[in-house]
Structure 1
Amino acid sequence: MTRLFKNVVLPLAVVAIAAAVSLAIISSRPELPRRESIEVVPLVEVVTVQPGPVAVTIESRGIVTPRRSIDLVSEVSGRVDWVDSGFLQGEAVSEGQLLLRIDPIDYEVALSTAEASLASAELALAEVKALVKKAAIAEAQAGVTAARDRLRQAKVDLANTEIRAPFNAVVDIKQVDVGQYVTAGSSLMKLLSTDVAEVRLPLLASDVPYVDYGQYDDGTWPQIMLTASFGNIKHSWRARLARLERRVDEETRVFFVVAQVDEPYSRSLHSHILALGLFVEASFAGIAIDDAVKIPRSALHQSSYVYLVENGSLQRREVTLRRRESDSVIVSGLEAGDLLVLTRLDLMVDGMPVRMLD
């Protein structure tokens, strides 16, 4: 009996007493205060939209080129015996300016010979007419005609010994100098015209529908500004959008609109000369897009929809992307008074409660 008490009854009693004490402690512990859960509503920035005509900005850049560029060749052969001191590579020359002269002595002799031949032919014709030799008259008249043609050719050859600028230009390449012998057909120089400068501005296919070019009915042209930086100094030139080239570059797949500047080297028209070969930038307004809104890129999701705030919650609205620009997009499909969400949250779903930033 004693062994049963020690091995069974006593341990059970100890366990029962410990359980009773633990239950008493737990029951006497004060109840912890309950915290009410607080719902956090995201704060978003919104803007009220007003659809209407949206101006399109087009940016491009290009190199100033001449409207005309020619390789001037000699039409006669001979030694160059005189060159104008202003005939230098990179210098401007005027239309009609004498640039160099080929020794004319051979052509002066040819001219005198042609004049003598014409006189002899005319004398022969007069003699056969006086003798009324009808058979010989036709032959004599042909001789006079041939002599006149040779005289005209001799005059042209003599005139061609003087090489003049065919238009206002810049000497791009000079290939002859005093003492050099040139042959007919040899290149003397390359000239770049300066009456009108052109800049080919590359455009993406998406830009083309919004470019206004060509002369208006009233005689005016669409105007743009070309700019170039010289260190910290920026110069600008007014240009006209003359034409859109009717071809696409095979490698880059871009179009080109051509801007023109009148008399780029004129100090009276421009504050600074627009040198051929200069790299310039252009930023100009295109044709406006009607019934559209320009919004930040971050407000457009997956290029197809935006979020609005309606009755304190997000509402998804499908839009049509009309055009992308540097830091913004132009879309249609919004209505006047819509509250467009500018803030981009990590999680945005239709019907999500939000608060608007004051």
Structure 2
Amino acid sequence: MYWVLAAAGLAALAWGGWQWQRGPAGPAYEAPSARAPQGPAAAGQAEAKPGAAQGAPGAQTGRPPADPPGGAPARVGAGATVAVEAADAVTISLSRVVSAVGTLRAAESVVIKPETAGRIARIGFEGGARVRKGDLLIALDAAIVAAESEQTRAELALAQANYQRTVDLAQKQFVSERARDEAAANLRVLEARLKLAQARLSRTEIRAPFAGVLGLRNVSLGDYVREGDALVVLEDVSSMQVDLRLPERFLSQIRRGQQLRVEFDAWPGREFPAELEAIDVQVDANGRSVVARGRLANADGLLRAGMFAKASLTLSENPRAVMVPEEAVVPMGSDLFVYRIEDEKAFRTRVSTGQRREGRVEIVEGLAPGARVVTAGQLKLQRDGQQVRVVASGQAGTAAQGPAAPVPAPSGG
């Protein structure tokens, strides 16, 4: 019994609160620019216009009209002509380029080292000099090795004479076949020993393995050098190589023969043309990159190994790429669209985009060269094929608003 009374009390309180918030119905809306006349004139006007109160907007609902004076302009209808800005799709030659940095290296580079120990008896170059293949660079003291070579040559001559005599005697059966075989074996041993002596003698002369430019000389006449000591660097700088690390996603797009443009901080504002000549067989698992090597000419000798290089690799070239302003492309979900203008009507067209250059975007698919597209005012287009009017730049927003509503004058006292 008590819970029924409690529920009835709560319902009564809720109804009373709702009535209090609702309040009494307000008076009918009255335009701020007009004041109701007083006295008999008001009665006359009421008799002359008996239906005015009923026809006034909001008179019966107690709310102001939907579009009060001075409010925002009405929305453009679906059948109205919309003012837009437009531009033509132009055709240019466009290259797909990827940028990378790398280090310059000589086409051929070697550190000259002796293969035998000895004292330097002659130096045939100066630091930074250009040499030809086979030029003598350093000669070691070869007196001992040359003497050993002459001794072996004399022993070889005696062995040849002994072998010839043994062969003659064996033919006459004055000596056994074993004696002849021993003489032949001794002859071959001395021949091999002479070749070894000559090889040691030749190792005392260090010559340039290829034509190039020498580095700085780090040894002097009379220095004793050991086997493997670094003497000087020789590099072939007639052409240079640049190694670039490219992301593995470009692996299917790079190939030998592609063109490179290389820049160096030492020569600002100058580009050196190069050509891709090799691609590494492996992809670096740590950086997920592949090394591509380019070659560039260095006939004037301006480039040096170790220079920091900034390269641009041309992956592909499109001589007839269709470009439109970036603002013409409208994203809708996962698709991209442009509004194409034909016969003063705008038609929404799905497109596929490519590269972006200087405020323009490449249209890979969906738009023909020379087509006119909307660049401003797309949000005012309510339907596909809507009538449009092309205006100058910056006027698309003001042209669709129309004249402004007059501001009501303040009423007099």
Q: TM-score, normalised by structure 2?
A: 0.62
Please point out which of 94, 104, 109 is paired with 1:69: 109
The change in CA–CA distance for 1:213 and 1:45 in structure 2 (over 3 A counts) is farther
Please point out which of 115, 136, 143 is paired with 1:105: 143
Q: TM-score, normalised by structure 1?
A: 0.71
- CA drift at 1:59: 3.8
Contact 1:175 1:188 in 2 (8 A): yes
Contact 1:316 1:350 in 2 (8 A): no
- CA drift at 1:147: 0.8
Please point out which of 276, 280, 287 is paired with 1:245: 280
The change in CA–CA distance for 1:213 and 1:37 in structure 2 (over 3 A counts) is same
The change in CA–CA distance for 1:166 and 1:293 in structure 2 (over 3 A counts) is same
- What is the CA–CA distance in structure 2 between the aligned matches of 1:162 and 1:117, rounded to whole Å? 25
The change in CA–CA distance for 1:193 and 1:34 in structure 2 (over 3 A counts) is closer
- Tell me the residue number matched to 1:160: 203
The change in CA–CA distance for 1:182 and 1:61 in structure 2 (over 3 A counts) is same
Match of 2:106, as an amino acid?
A: P
SS in 1 for 2:157: helix
Please give the residue correspondences for 1:183-332 in structure 2 after superposition, counting only pairs within 5 Å.
Answer: 183-205=226-248, 207-211=250-254, 213-214=256-257, 223-230=259-266, 234-262=269-297, 264=298, 266-267=299-300, 273-283=302-312, 285-289=314-318, 293-297=322-326, 299-301=328-330, 304-310=335-341, 316-323=348-355, 328-332=360-364
The change in CA–CA distance for 1:169 and 1:325 in structure 2 (over 3 A counts) is farther
User: Aligned pair 1:334/2:377, yes or no?
Assistant: no
User: Aligned pair 1:137/2:180, yes or no?
Assistant: yes
SS in 2 for 1:69: strand
User: Aligned pair 1:24/2:57, yes or no?
Assistant: no
The change in CA–CA distance for 1:310 and 1:298 in structure 2 (over 3 A counts) is closer
- Tell me the residue number matched to 1:178: 221
The change in CA–CA distance for 1:35 and 1:298 in structure 2 (over 3 A counts) is closer
Match of 2:373, as an amino acid?
A: L
Contact 1:171 1:191 in 2 (8 A): yes
Which deviates more, 58-67 or 159-168? 58-67
Please point out which of 385, 390, 403 is paired with 1:356: 390
Query: What is the aligned length?
Result: 318
- What is the CA–CA distance in structure 2 between the aligned matches of 1:111 and 1:118, rounded to whole Å? 10
The change in CA–CA distance for 1:112 and 1:37 in structure 2 (over 3 A counts) is closer
- CA drift at 1:78: 0.9
Contact 2:341 2:373 in 1 (8 A): no
CA RMSD across the alignment: 4.0
Which deviates more, 148-157 or 50-59? 50-59
Contact 2:106 2:304 in 1 (8 A): no
Which deviates more, 318-327 or 191-200? 318-327
The change in CA–CA distance for 1:156 and 1:315 in structure 2 (over 3 A counts) is same
- CA drift at 1:108: 0.8
- What is the CA–CA distance in structure 2 between the aligned matches of 1:157 and 1:305, rounded to whole Å? 76
Larger CA Rg, structure 1 vs 2? 2
SS in 2 for 1:239: strand
Unpaired segments of 5 or more residues in structure 1?
A: 1-20, 215-221
